[in-house]
Amino acid sequence: MELFDLTALELGAKIKKHEIGVVEATRACLDRIGEQEKTVHAFITVTPELALARAEAVQRGIDDGTYTGPLAGVPMAIKDLISTKGVATTCASRMLEHYVPVFDATVTKKLEAAGAVCLGKTNMDEFAMGSTTESSYFGVTRNPWNPDRVPGGSSGGSAAAVAAREVFYALGSDTGGSIRQPASFCGVTGIKPTYGTVSRYGLLAYASSLDQIGPLTIDALDAAAVTRTIMGRDEMDATSVDVPLPGMPAGDDLTGLRVGVPEDYFGKGLASDVCARVMDAAKQLEALGATLVPVRMPILDYAIPAYYILACAEASSNLSRYDGVKYGYRPEHFEDLHDLYLTARSEGFGAEVKRRIMLGAFALSSGYYDAYYNKALRVKALMKQGFDRCFEQADLLITPAAPTTAYALGAHTDDPIQMYLGDIYTVSVNMAGLPGMVVPCGFDGEGLPVGAQLIGPAFGEGILFRAAHAYQLHTAFHRRFPGRKED
């Protein structure tokens, strides 16, 4: 078997058995990055020297028993909005082009303690605001399946890096679908855990009540292993909670599992290929013993407008910290302190970021607060009630992750609302705080990957891993990657 046919856990096991060295695996990934980056551009920063030094240290740690976990020695990458001490963390923005964190995010520390070997920081939409990775200040990422298509976003670099097998897994973040939609577009597995499961300390904030860190991986077992590594209560994040680790999934028996199929997710605007592949996946779960249950989620139609009000409102507040004083971009010319703030922000932020913070400032402004911000919080309550009703009848839901497969680069540049509409199936999950997972479930007529989304009740990660793993024991879509040598 070729190295790049392995999953993260399979590579971890080979490293443990000394069938392959950590340095060797790291070098192979760095070489592959060298080839793939010419077209894909999944990374903002690659750190070969640091990675090789780290690989040597991790190999020693494995040999002397310091690192015993299943992911020790496995090369991976981190989205460029998660703080990495001593390595630039730019949020894909000119504002933070030269920002080098002096501390690690909690997830970075946890992965380090598990023996992860980080190869670099992945590309994304600026401040995670976008669904295509085109708004990055450092240039677009291309979909490894077709370089004329977007990889999705905002964690497009993380998804593309895994799809191109530049790394064996990557961390992303998801505020309204930013792990799940690129996972779907790039044909990889990804999970946004329940809000509060993973500490957000050191994650550069977009919309704090919706943001959650999660992994993009090759399969459900890897997703479970990474999630188990990074989750847990953290005193640096007051919203983090202490929940028991979900077990590693095993077996393909789904007898007794009730899988809700919300018809509202299969209506107008859904591409027929996507609909067909997701229904195939539902039938596969049924074949493994699950029962399909029709459920309703009529409030879905209002998910996008409510989400954009809430996310932009929080963004306008969160991003007010960027003022050119303590860190970040500082213009050369300005008149006084006030003008320094304005100029730093006007020159440091890109168009989409400005658009969102202006909408957010509007929604929070006196006179409009009740009609927009409070109204959206009421819709959020209805969204949660809608899911609560679904979970009275079902243990998890299956839906598409996005209405289409990956579209052409530049397709939505002039019309952001068209891009926002693509978030229809994902944003409500963040508003209700629920876990959402994406598994590759086939390809469309053009050979582009399709992803199915599994939505669980709060802290129901274990149910999602179980269903996804059972599904993947009977399908091979997750094993395919562009240019793979067929067996």
Partner 1 sequence: MEITDKLVSYVAELAHLKLDDAQRAQAAQDLARMIGYVDQLRELDTEGVEPMSHAFPVVNVFREDEVRESMDRELILQNAPAKKDGCFLVPRTVE
| Residues 64-103, mask of contacts with partner 1 (x by CB under 8 A) | ----------------------------------xxx-xx
Cis peptide before 173 (omega within 30 of 0): no
Stretch that binds partner 1, among 165-173, 243-251, 285-293, 304-312 (CB under 8 A): 304-312
DSSP 8-state code for residue 143:
B
Among 40, 15, 26, 123, smallest CA distance to 78 is for 123
232-271: contacts with partner 1 (CB under 8 A): 235, 238-239
Do residues 421 and 404 lie in contact, with contact meaning Cβ atoms separated by under 8 Å? Answer: no
For the CB of residue 405, give the shortest distance to partner 1 in the complex, in Å: 24
Instruction: Kindly tell me which residue out of 6, 124, 432, 437 binds partner 1, with binding defined by CB under 8 A.
Output: 432
Task: Check if 178 is active-site.
Answer: yes
Do residues 146 and 39 lie in contact, with contact meaning Cβ atoms separated by under 8 Å? Answer: no
Interatomic CA distance for residues 318 and 374, integer angstroms: 18
Question: Based on C-alpha coordinates, what's the Rg of the chain?
Answer: 21
Q: Which residue shows structure tokens 């957010």?
A: 360
Instruction: Kindly tell me which residue out of 209, 284, 291, 475 binds partner 1, with binding defined by CB under 8 A.
Output: 209
Amino acid of residue 439: V
Interatomic CA distance for residues 388 and 393, integer angstroms: 9
DSSP 8-state code for residue 40:
-
Binding of partner 1 by 414 (CB under 8 A): no
Do residues 31 and 4 lie in contact, with contact meaning Cβ atoms separated by under 8 Å? Answer: no
Helix (H, G, I), strand (E, B) or coil at 153: coil
Binding of partner 1 by 479 (CB under 8 A): no
Helix (H, G, I), strand (E, B) or coil at 295: strand
Binding of partner 1 by 292 (CB under 8 A): no
How many CB atoms are located within 10 Å of the residue 83 CB?
A: 22
**Of residues 10 and 80, the one with the C-beta less far from partner 1:** 80
Stretch that binds partner 1, among 1-9, 148-156, 414-422, 466-474 (CB under 8 A): 414-422
Binding of partner 1 by 431 (CB under 8 A): yes
For the CB of residue 334, give the shortest distance to partner 1 in the complex, in Å: 7
Count of residues interacting with partner 1 (CB under 8 A)? 66
Do residues 92 and 123 lie in contact, with contact meaning Cβ atoms separated by under 8 Å? Answer: yes
| Residues 156-195, mask of contacts with partner 1 (x by CB under 8 A) | ---------------------------------------x
List interacting residues with partner 1 (CB under 8 A): 98-100, 102-103, 195-196, 209, 235, 238-239, 302, 305-306, 308-309, 316, 320, 323-330, 334, 336-337, 339-343, 345-346, 349, 354-355, 357-362, 365, 371-372, 374-382, 384, 416-417, 420, 431-434, 458
Q: Which residues are catalytic?
A: 79, 154, 178
